[in-house]
Amino acid sequence: MTAPILLDIDAGVARLTLNRPASLNALSFDMMAALSETTGQLARRTDLRVVVIAGAGEHFMAGGDLKDFASQLHLSPESRLASFRATIEQHINPSIEALANLPVPVIARVQGACAGFGLSLALACDLVLAADSAYFTTAYASIALSGDGGVSWLLPRIAGRHKAFELLLLAERFDAAEAQRLGVVNKVVPLGGLDDAVAGLVQRIVAGPRETYAEMKRLLNQSACHSLDAQLQLEAEAFARCAARPDFDEGINAFLGKRKPRFNG
């Protein structure tokens, strides 16, 4: 049986591949379990510099596997409630939390369909690069579901509350250009240049100050939960930690020496 999630790690670059291309990488129950296991593995690593999440084949992820969902329809409402809640709490939520808590940038490489949990997963990444042919939809309302994977937390913070509700309520498809306009996507490139664009971004991150990137990500993740004065204090503490590290010395000396910095992380 082919693994539904593939993980390759080389020189600090982790590549997580959603690997059900014949099903547009639709999220099956087995894939949910594999995703939580794989993101858990990433959370335990200390040698990572960047994580890239991509879909095998022509699509990122077309949402949940409706055939798997249909297999639950014979259950009573009470049993179905317990089953789906347990699945989300045991596999979906830990996966999203693991990605959010990784002290390194997480990049989504999106092509083709990015729907349902696929969109939630992309939103949970720190940066999203998309092919100009990619298309997006929340999809949940089409099968009378409210959403998972943090979509109700992430989407309004990116697109605004009114637009987020529209996207969830109507579940209409939008293209890569609109996704970029909304802030869902950072950069849109021709499909043929997507791999080069991702590789260039990965290279830049790997060459950057790893501990500083971790501080930035932590500050952004914390900001929604803190008052301005509390966030200012956290910024002061993070800034001071960065200034006490060797990469700061290298950054200053490189600037004064009119050369590119060589950060060691």
Tokens of 106: 């997480």
pLDDT in tens, 198-247: 999 999 999 999 999 999 999 999 998 999 999 999 999 999 999 999 99
Closest CA to 47 of 204, 195, 206: 206
| The pLDDT of residue 85 | 97
- Say whether both 31 and 97 belong to one domain: yes
Q: Tell me the pLDDT tens digit for each residue of 166-175.
A: 999 999 999 9
**Model confidence pLDDT, tens digit, residues 51-75:** 999 999 999 999 999 999 999 999 9
Residues 244 and 131 in one domain: no
Q: Is residue 262 part of a domain?
A: no
pLDDT of residue 70: 96
pLDDT at 132: 98
Task: Provide the β-strand partners of residue 7.
Answer: 16
Residue 101 and residue 189 share a domain: yes
Structure-token pair, residue 119: 């969109």
Same domain flag for 139 and 171: yes
Q: Where are the beta strands (DSSP E) in 163-209?
A: 174-175, 187-189
Identify the H or E element spanning 222: helix 210-223
Strands in the chain per DSSP E: 5-10, 13-18, 50-55, 61-62, 106-110, 113-115, 127-131, 135-137, 174-175, 187-189
Cβ distance 11 to 48 under 8 Å? no
Does any domain span residue 263?
A: no
Structural domain count of the chain: 2
Is 191 in the same domain as 220?
no
pLDDT band at 192 (very low <50, low <70, confident <90, very high): very high
pLDDT of 177 strictly over 80: yes
Does residue 35 share a domain with residue 164? yes
Residue 251 lies in a domain: yes
pLDDT at 120: 98
Residues 130 and 236 in one domain: no
Is the pLDDT assigned to residue 1 strictly greater than 90?
A: no
According to the model, what pLDDT value does residue 265 have? 73
User: What is the rounded average pLDDT of the residues 116-127?
Assistant: 98
DSSP state of 64: B
Structural domain ending residue among the three candidates 166, 181, 206? 206
Is residue 29 pLDDT above 90, yes or no? yes
Q: What is the pLDDT of residue 212?
A: 97
CATH code of 219's domain: 1.10.12.10
List the domain range (segments joined by +) for residue 248: 210-256
Please provide the average confidence, as pLDDT, over all residues in the chain.
97
pLDDT > 70 fraction of the chain, expressed in percent and rounded = 100
Identify whether residues 189 and 225 lie together within a single domain.
no
Over residues 247-260, the mean pLDDT reads 97
**pLDDT the model gives residue 153:** 96
Q: Is the pLDDT of residue 127 over 80?
A: yes
The CB density around residue 237, as the number of other CB atoms within 10 Å, is: 12
Task: Quick: pLDDT tens for 82-104.
Answer: 999 999 999 999 999 999 999 99
Q: From 188, 206, 224, give the residue that closes a domain.
A: 206
Please check whether residue 182 lies inside any domain of the structure. Answer: yes
Q: Reply yes or no on whether the pLDDT at 149 is more than 90.
A: yes
